[in-house]
Amino acid sequence: MNMRQQMVKTLEELMACDERLVVVLAVISYSLFNQTTSAFAKRILNLGIMEQTMVSVAAGIAMEGFIPVVHSITPFLVERPFEQIKDDFCYQQLSGKFISTGASYDYSTEGMTHHGSGDVQILRSLPGMQIVVPGTPGEFDALLRESYANGANTYFRLNVQSNPREYPVRFGKLAVLKRGKQATVIAVGPMLAAVLPAVENMDVTLLYCTTVAPFDGETLRETSQSSNIVLVEPYYGGALTPDIWAALQQSPIRIEAIGVPHQLLTHYGTPRQHDEAIGLTPQGIRCRIEAFLA
């Protein structure tokens, strides 16, 4: 089961027991939901291909006391209707859950119109927006269940690839996977699959981050034993640097921000080929860390 299939399973389970949940779609993923026989079929609204209206309609639904879940492919959920998310949800202080599918270059063969590497940087600009980047379907399930009724606006970034191992993650908390002195490495969501082998036998602290916003600066402060901070993100790199500066402002630090480079990606092929081309592989990440610490 991938994250998108998990999304359908978890939402259907939650909708069956919580009448406040309404799923608002613009065609994408509608066919995956149980549309006819279920008791909650009326609360799955497929509006047609109109993402701006999808977000505003969801805001209207939120005004009436429901918890809307809005979903589409990343650029059509985040970038096209960004102003609707900003005005209709954030400024109006309503609560909605935004679940994307197709992170960064997951849809590698579709070209850059279907890529979504800028979503986290863009959404970080919204006051109060929560950003969740799970690494496995099970982690997504746990994080959605924990936060769907928290009254905030929450974005869930779903990846096609998943980490081989699942961790018990908590919303808003960094997981401490390893402790060491040479550097503190923060791996965000699906980057953990490459970071774990990259830091093997290295004397580093490894923190696993599945909630990007609000960032758990407290755990970073408590566990970091080095002024060398390595950040490995699966989107345009460096989104978390302001949070790291803020958490560790008492001590001088250096940051190596590894992520998707801020450039046009014009190749197609597979996501794996993109990983290799931009160095988001165990070897590529290890080389960057070694050079940073040299």
Residues in contact with other proteins by the rule CB under 8 A: 22, 42-43, 45, 47-48, 50, 52-53, 56-66, 68, 83-84, 87-88, 91-93
Which is nearer to other proteins, 44 or 220 (by Cβ)? 44
Q: Which two tokens stand for residue 86?
A: 């900003």
Least distance in Å: CB of 95 to other proteins? 13
Which is nearer to other proteins, 55 or 204 (by Cβ)? 55
Which is nearer to other proteins, 47 or 255 (by Cβ)? 47
Backbone dihedral angles phi then psi of residue 152, each to the nearest 5 degrees = -105, 175
Least distance in Å: CB of 45 to other proteins? 7
DSSP SS3 for 265: coil
d(C-alpha 196, C-alpha 247), whole Å: 24
Least distance in Å: CB of 172 to other proteins? 25
Most distant CA pair in the chain, distance: 61
Sequence-distant (6+) residues with CB within 8 A of 218 are: 247
**Could you give the angle at which helices 137-147 and 3-17 cross, rounded to 10 degrees?**
30
67, 21 contact by CB (below 8 A): yes
Which is nearer to other proteins, 40 or 171 (by Cβ)? 40
Least distance in Å: CB of 102 to other proteins? 22
Which is nearer to other proteins, 64 or 201 (by Cβ)? 64
Q: Which parts of 207-280 fold into alpha helices (H)? A: 217-223, 241-247, 271-278
Least distance in Å: CB of 204 to other proteins? 46
Least distance in Å: CB of 48 to other proteins? 7
Which is nearer to other proteins, 68 or 237 (by Cβ)? 68
> The sheet that has 254-260: what strands, in order across it?
174-178, 204-209, 183-188, 228-236, 254-260
